[in-house]
Structure formats: C-alpha cells, structure tokens
Structure 1
Amino acid sequence: LEKLVKKEYTLLTFEDDRYPRLLREVVEPPLVLYCFGQPEILSWAAVAVVGSRKPSPYGKMLADRLSEELAACGLVVVSGLARGIDTLAHRGALRAGRTVAVLGSGLENIYPKENRMLADRIAEKGAVVSEYPLDSEPLGFHFPLRNRVISGLSLASLVVEASLKSGALITARLAADQGREVLAVPGPVDSELSRGTNFLLKQGARLAESAEDVLLELPSPWKEAALSRLAEKKRSRPELAGREKEVYQALPETSLIHIDELSDKIQVSVAELLTVLLGLEMKDLVVQEAGKFFRRRL
C-alpha cells in the first residue's frame, strides 16, 4: 500500500467503475490491475500491435509507421513493452498519441530494463499496467497470460511480423476467442519472420497493409470516428507545388527509400533533395529514419 501511494500507482479492482469494460468481457479477466499513469485510458478505443522480438527492417518500419498512424486517428495502441515490435509500436504511437503497455512483471520491475524510460514516457499520456504485484519478477509463464490482457483491452489485434513460434500468435488466438478482429501484415514467403503472419492470413485474419485497413475492421461507432479523423488529417495537408510536390509523390507509401535511390529515381541531386525533404519534414509530411531513409507520413 505504501508503494502504491508513494509512486502514485492506481489499483483497479474488478468492482471498480474504472475497470476497463472490454476487459470485463474476456474469460478469466484479472481480478486487479496495477496501473501507472492514466487509468481512464484503459477504457478508450484501442488496437493491439504485436509481433516478433527480433524483427526485420521491414517489420520495424511497419510497426513504427502503423502505430503512429493508428494513434494519429485517435486510437490507443496497446502492446507488451517487449523488445522488438512492442517497443517500436509504443514509440510510434507516442509520436502521435497515446499507448498502453501491459507487463508480464510488476510495475516496480520493468522488463526489459532498458525500457524503463520508455515506460515513464508511456505513463505520462497513457498507462503501464500489470495484473501482477508490484515487485513480481518477469516469469516465463506470465507472458502468455498477459497476452489475454493485451487483446482484451483492444477492439482488434494487429500482428505485424511473427514466426510460427512467436507469442504474438497466442495474442491473435486469444483475440479471436474473445470475439475481436485479428489482422496481419503479409510478408515475404521465404522469410521465417513472416510465416506466422502469413499463416494467420490463411486462417482468415484480415490483411493489413495500412492503418486504414485496420480502421475498416473496427466495430461501429469507433470505425466511423477513426475514419473521420483520418479523412480530416488528409484534408488538412498543405498544398504542394514544384519540387516539393515532385519529391513527395516519389516517396513510397508503404516502405522506406534511401536518399541515393530517390536521387536516381527523380534525377535530383542529393544536396537539393536534403533541402526539400527538410521542408517536407517541417510540414509534417515526411519521416526520416536512421541512415537517410525516408517515407511519407500519414
């Protein structure tokens, strides 16, 4: 109790009015939730974004981009704070909105430890939650159990990249059992990290190549509200002309492009491209990734 008060944690019991409604509907919901951050966020419209702990560059890019786009449409992104896709999902969502992290350990024992600062950032606008007592260790059997909370808090679950042995497939199965929509990002047929997502698609999961694909699978009225936000964001884009328009239109929508490749593609010098791309970044239309890779922002 002293730690709860000292750290400003919130304890939500099943009888508490603030206990998330969607989570009440699952089989064997947690009797209590320890919350660091904003407990009311747990009842907002949310989508789970999960996947491999060792993603490929393709998976990293999509987890980051899709999470940012979903958050920009007013949805809370739920994930598990693990290395890989989870971490990228939280970071992407924080750039545009809010996110919730569900732990397989206690709030006083953030795992992995390198995500301690990320957990603090999440709690500022969102929430970090666990069903386990504050000092609980990250025991192996905790993680499959916490996956039911990730899917249970969410209207739908999106698997970005996963092997056939990935715990993300457990989250997908639990989401389906809970009557929630399951979506998966398709990947190369020869990639071990795409076997899980491609398997889900064969089993009937919805294909997701963009945030809009996810929004279209949400139940009403959340679907309409999110699509309205997406349409408004597109309408509010500044008009482009000249070189800015040429460069923006040359950027791919669903992947990254290196500045050298972009230079060859449109026959514009790298020096001029850097100037134009900086202007597009300042207009919030372009994102630069490490290594001078660029992509459009939603």
Structure 2
Amino acid sequence: MRTGDDQVFWLALNYLVTDGYLSAGKALRYFDSEDKLLKPEAGYLDSCPLSFLAKQKILSGELLDRAGLEVEKLKGKEYTLLSFKDSGYPELLREIVEPPLVLYAYGQTEVLNLAGVAIVGSRHPTGYGRLLADRLADELAACGLVVISGLARGIDTLAHQGALRSGKTLAVLGSGLDRIYPKENRLLAEKIAAKGLVVSEFPLESEPLGFHFPLRNRVLSGLSLACLVVEAGLKSGALITAGLALDQGREVMAVPGPVTSELSGGTNFLIKHGAKLVESAEDIVSELPFPWNEAALNRLTSRKQARPELSQQENKVLEALPEKEVIHLDELSDKIHLPVSELLTVLLSLEMKETVVQEPGKFFRRRY
C-alpha cells in the first residue's frame, strides 16, 4: 500500500467498519473516493447511514488523527498493510459479501493468493482429533496447498504445526497482530510468519474481543477453497465457520467420528446434511477446483511413492505402529519385544526419515 493519504484513508475507513459504525459494503459504496472521507463536502455526510457520533469523529478529525497515529506505529513494525484496492489483496476474499477493507500482514504476503484449505475444530480435541488434524494438515501442505486456520488452541494449533513440517500455513487472528491470542502461541506465530503468513483486519493493539471471532471466521473461510472441520461438537464455533464457508460458495468437508463422542456431534451433523466425508488428504484434494486438484494430487502421489529406504528393524517398528492412532513408547516396546533404549534409536531414525511423528507424552504415530 502507498504511504500518506492513501494509508490514512483506508485505515480510517476500516475503523468505521471494525468499530461497528458501517458495513464494509456500505463503506465502499459511500466513500468511493478519498475526499469523501478526508475532506467531505458540506452536507455529504448527511446522506450516509452513519450515527451522529461517527459523523462527529469524521468532522472533528478524530478518525483521521487515529489513522495517522496508526501509520506512525506501522513504521516501526515488520508488517505490511494491504487495502481492498491493492494488487496483492487476495482475489478470493474480494468475492465475499463483506470483505475486510484492510489486511495487516506479517510474513510472506504472496501466500495470500496461493490455493488454500481451512482446517477448524474443537479447542479441546481428543487424541483422534489431534491425530487427524496434524496428519491432514501435513499432507495438504506437502501437496503445495496453504493450510489456513485461526491460531486458537486445539485443532487450529495442530493444523498450523502439522502444515509447518511440510509447507506453508496462514493464521487469521481475531486480535491485532501485536496481540497474539492465546499468548502461548506467540512462538508459533513467529514460526508461521517465517514460512507463511499471519493476518488480521483489526488495528494494532486490538484485544481479542468476543465479537471479533465471527468476523475473523468469515475471513478464514473466505481465503480458502474449502473448509474442513476435523472435530467439533454441535455448539462449536467451527460449525459457524462451516456455515460461512457454505454461504461463500466454498466446499465444506468434515471428518466423521464416533457417535458416542460429543466432539463428533458437529462433524457428523455436517456430513448428514451434505458435507463431504473426509478420511484422507486425497478426499480433500479431489474436491478442489481444477487445476489445483490435479497439481495437488500429483504431488501427493509423488510423495507417497518416494518413501525412503528402511532397514529391517525400521520396517519392523513402522509396521507395528497403528494406521490411524497413536501408541505409547512403552506399549510399542512391549508389542515388538524391543528395549526402550534401542526402540528410541530406531524411532529417531524414522523421524529423521519423515516416516514417524512423535506426539506429546511419548506417543508415536505414522506420518502417512
């Protein structure tokens, strides 16, 4: 984005939206030129659907002063500011009903216009959900797709972590870029920015307020070609994101789960009502529009065919690992009658060959 009046204009316009005075669509319609906001003609604001307070903030210069201060803050940050009119603004996001007028970006901005899949779900997933979120994100990233999520605890975090092992991921925040939430994901946000991108429509220093997250979710789904719900209850916010994706014309997918699990109630409900049932990365990729589906499937096939050569002992350990579950180190040791010390050496070798993944608590699983 250019500096000067252009930045001030878009930031001020964005404040009208994020402060709740005006929708993005109306903001673009009523303020289609800088002068209408920066130097409005006498009486023009009377024709705009703005509250008295909002009009006063414009006429008094308060809104513009705030935008000018934001420009100064940005000068000392490694952030990029993209407006709705900028060439780098993501094309998919332009299509949605209420696109964000401004995106604050930290990291590799070219990621915004790469093909991506959103992965969302519970903040407190089961072992089953953790496994699937990590594995599917890993495989999608390896296909060249960007994994998009919200940096929340649980499925979001697992999706970002899984994607970082093999490719790029994009985090959409419900707070300002300098107010990472939750705080324990600050390091993860830095890792994402190094290989992918962290974005927000909210001004710097914006706290993670409750009403921000539905707004965040529409951006998350709007940036994606498809939205995958991995594990979610019937009242989960992930179902709201799925609904937004459907409204935006995106493909909605879900991972099925046990009918006895509350955290599978939402995903099973989505499948029952038409969402694509997903068991593997191939299921996701095959539903994407051409040419992304063909390119991603080719990469996925090549990856699975290019398995590293394994020793006899490594093959023995790999075959003992469950297909779709994790297993504890001690249980695996008992299962194949191999001392823990020797087993750890073999598992480390398999990790380095990217065929095995270690989970917290000394649990292990196959990578593919």
Q: What is the TM-score normalised by the length of structure 1?
A: 0.95
One-letter amino acid matched to 1:5: K
Q: Provide the secondary structure at the position in 2 that maps to 1:144.
A: helix
Aligned residue in 1 for 2:131: 61
For residues 108 and 288 of structure 1, what CA distance do their matches in structure 2 show? Answer: 31
For residues 152 and 53 of structure 1, what CA distance do their matches in structure 2 show? Answer: 21
For residues 242 and 168 of structure 1, what CA distance do their matches in structure 2 show? Answer: 44
Contact 1:188 1:194 in 2 (8 A): yes
Q: Provide the secondary structure at the position in 2 that maps to 1:171.
A: helix
Q: Provide the secondary structure at the position in 2 that maps to 1:100.
A: strand
For residues 190 and 333 of structure 2, what CA distance do their matches in structure 1 show? Answer: 40
- Greater shift in the superposed pair: 100-109 or 248-257: 248-257
Q: Which of the residues 174, 185, 195 maps onto 1:125?
A: 195
Q: Provide the secondary structure at the position in 2 that maps to 1:33.
A: strand
Q: Which of the residues 345, 348, 355 maps onto 1:278?
A: 348
Q: After TM superposition, give the deviation of residue 256 of structure 1 in Å.
A: 0.9
Q: After TM superposition, give the deviation of residue 153 of structure 1 in Å.
A: 0.5
Q: After TM superposition, give the deviation of residue 293 of structure 1 in Å.
A: 1.7
One-letter amino acid matched to 1:12: L
Aligned residue in 1 for 2:100: 30
For residues 142 and 149 of structure 2, what CA distance do their matches in structure 1 show? Answer: 16
One-letter amino acid matched to 1:53: R
Q: Provide the secondary structure at the position in 1 that maps to 2:358.
A: strand
Q: After TM superposition, give the deviation of residue 266 of structure 1 in Å.
A: 4.1
Q: Provide the secondary structure at the position in 1 that maps to 2:119.
A: strand
Q: Which of the residues 107, 117, 129 maps onto 1:47?
A: 117
For residues 234 and 104 of structure 1, what CA distance do their matches in structure 2 show? Answer: 36
Q: After TM superposition, give the deviation of residue 107 of structure 1 in Å.
A: 1.2
Report 1 or 2 for greater relative contact order, CA contacts < 8 Å, sequence distance ≥ 6.
1
Q: After TM superposition, give the deviation of residue 267 of structure 1 in Å.
A: 4.5
Aligned residue in 2 for 1:137: 207
Is 1:198 paired with 2:268? yes
Deviation by residue 1:56-94 (Cα, 9 ceiling, x = unmatched): 222122212221221111111111111111111111111
Q: Provide the secondary structure at the position in 1 that maps to 2:103.
A: strand
Q: Provide the secondary structure at the position in 1 that maps to 2:347.
A: helix
Q: Provide the secondary structure at the position in 1 that maps to 2:117.
A: strand
Aligned residue in 2 for 1:161: 231
Q: Which of the residues 208, 228, 240 maps onto 2:310?
A: 240
Q: After TM superposition, give the deviation of residue 288 of structure 1 in Å.
A: 1.6
Q: Provide the secondary structure at the position in 1 that maps to 2:324.
A: coil
For residues 128 and 259 of structure 1, what CA distance do their matches in structure 2 show? Answer: 35
Q: Which has the higher helix share?
A: 2
Deviation by residue 1:97-121 (Cα, 9 ceiling, x = unmatched): 1111111111122222222222122
Deviation by residue 1:11-70 (Cα, 9 ceiling, x = unmatched): 111111100011111111111111111211111010101111121222122212221221
Q: Which of the residues 152, 176, 179 maps onto 1:109?
A: 179
For residues 53 and 292 of structure 1, what CA distance do their matches in structure 2 show? Answer: 22
Contact 1:256 1:293 in 2 (8 A): yes
Q: Which of the residues 73, 83, 92 maps onto 2:143?
A: 73
One-letter amino acid matched to 2:361: G
- Greater shift in the superposed pair: 78-87 or 259-268: 259-268
Is 1:8 paired with 2:75? no
One-letter amino acid matched to 1:292: K
One-letter amino acid matched to 2:299: R
For residues 81 and 349 of structure 2, what CA distance do their matches in structure 1 show? Answer: 46
Is 1:182 paired with 2:252? yes
Deviation by residue 1:114-158 (Cα, 9 ceiling, x = unmatched): 222221221112111111111222111110111111011011111
One-letter amino acid matched to 2:84: F
Q: Provide the secondary structure at the position in 2 that maps to 1:101.
A: strand
One-letter amino acid matched to 2:318: Y
Q: Provide the secondary structure at the position in 2 that maps to 1:134.
A: coil
Select the structure of larger CA radius of gyration: 2
Contact 1:210 1:254 in 2 (8 A): no
Q: What is the TM-score normalised by the length of structure 2?
A: 0.77
For residues 76 and 16 of structure 1, what CA distance do their matches in structure 2 show? Answer: 21
For residues 347 and 176 of structure 2, what CA distance do their matches in structure 1 show? Answer: 43
Q: Root-mean-square deviation (CA), in Å?
A: 1.6
One-letter amino acid matched to 1:156: A
One-letter amino acid matched to 2:100: P
Aligned residue in 2 for 1:294: 364
Q: After TM superposition, give the deviation of residue 169 of structure 1 in Å.
A: 0.4
Matches within 5 A, 1:194-233: 194-233=264-303
